Amino acid sequence: MTVIDILTRVDAICQKYDKYDAEKLNGANVAGEDPFARLYGSVDAEISQCVEKAEAARQEKNRATVVALNAEIRRAKAKLLEEDLPKLQRLALKKVKGLTKEELATRSDLVAALPDRIQSIPDGSSSATKKNGGWGASGSRPGGGVKFDSTSG
């Protein structure tokens, strides 16, 4: 059993028993008043769902299902990056009654780490660009396969 398998199992067990966590139950009332905490919680849950879909797509044998799952993941990633992340960035900068400067800095750090977390979710499109190296010539011959006639009549 690899370390990744162990971490995956521990994470699954933690998520299963998360609803019994006393700190989160007490913190749920605080999050109800704080828009940043609510939105960050929903973004975090959305990222977790995307990771689960990516894992399901990786294990799926049916290509049509894989394509559909990858499309859902790409849509969710676009929504997170274009809509939710700017909202979180604005809310992280707002001063909230009862928050210390360290907690405000922590919020900014949490928001700064989100784009990398979102981009790291595999969605089936990044593997094609890695193989070709992005933009590349689509011919089998080096030099693009274009020849010019230098002799003119």
pLDDT in tens, the chain (153 residues): 888 889 899 988 888 887 777 666 555 444 456 888 889 999 999 999 999 999 999 999 999 999 999 999 999 999 999 999 999 999 888 877 777 888 888 888 989 999 999 999 998 885 544 444 555 444 445 555 565 666 665
Please state the pTM of the whole predicted model: 0.60
What's residue 128's pLDDT? 43
Which element (helix H / strand E) includes 65? helix 63-79
Domain ranges of the chain: 13-122
Cβ atoms of residues 43 and 49 within 8 Å: no
- Residues with Cβ within 8 Å of residue 60, at least 6 apart in sequence: 66, 69
